[in-house]
Amino acid sequence: MELLRKRHEQELLKEALKDAKEKDEKLAKEPLLSLEEVTEQMATGMVYYPDLPIRFRVVRFFGGRLSLPLPVDYLNRHTTQKELAVLVNDTMGISLTLQLTRSLKKNVTFDEVKRQMAGQFKGAGIYIELLEEGSVEDDFAPTHFITYRMPMAKGVMYHMVFYAINRIDGSMVIGDYNCFYKDIEKWENIIKATVSYMDFN
């Protein structure tokens, strides 16, 4: 009985991942707004999607060391500690987690972080599909990011994990911004544009 249940769950996850891939293909051909459009509009404080405009405001964390634009009507602070901030929208399944920590190495490589992350997922028995990786250059604290799909019982999630290390004092910020794949049309480019504006000092 347990074996049948697990097989059924695996089939559901495969179907959900297939739907997510088809959605990616459709979006590549017909995006609601391009990443460039979202990035430019976010700088004005408003992103104009066809059905609903979304307001943005620059929010500061960790005593002003980290700042980034956030959708003020969509994310509520769930936890704000000295070195941890969690913002969520339980209704839509959107969340942003930010943590201030310290890197043992000021010049840790992107490949090292990827290997560590992949090892953690594998050790926990979590399946993910890597999508993209990249960097946003900065003289003091360049930002590196990885995006991936992760199937869950409630549906497929889209995640962007990002980090930046201050080259002067070794302080480090780590973030995870995610949404359900059903909302990817809007939130993928919002997440990417947000991280491109992140300022960490």
Domain ranges of the chain: 2-200
Residue type at 201?
A: N
Residue type at 40?
A: E
Helices assigned H by DSSP within the chain: 2-29, 35-42, 110-123, 184-196
Query: How do the pLDDT tens digits run along the chain, 201 residues long?
Result: 555 555 656 666 667 667 766 766 665 666 789 999 999 999 999 999 988 899 999 999 999 999 999 999 999 887 767 899 999 998 899 999 999 988 766 666 667 777 777 777 777 777 888 899 888 887 788 888 999 998 887 888 999 999 998 888 889 999 999 999 889 989 999 999 999 999 998
CA angle (102, 195, 80) in 5-degree steps: 55
Residue 16 region, left (φ>0) first, then alpha (ψ -120 to 50), else beta? alpha
Distance separating alpha carbons of residues 85 and 68, to the nearest angstrom: 13
Distance separating alpha carbons of residues 39 and 133, to the nearest angstrom: 18
Does the reported pTM lie above 0.75? Answer: yes
- Residue 40 tokens, joined: 């430019």
Which has the closest alpha carbon to 189: 58, 32, 23? 32
| CATH architecture classification, 2-200 | 3-Layer(aba) Sandwich (3.40)
Distance separating alpha carbons of residues 198 and 164, to the nearest angstrom: 9
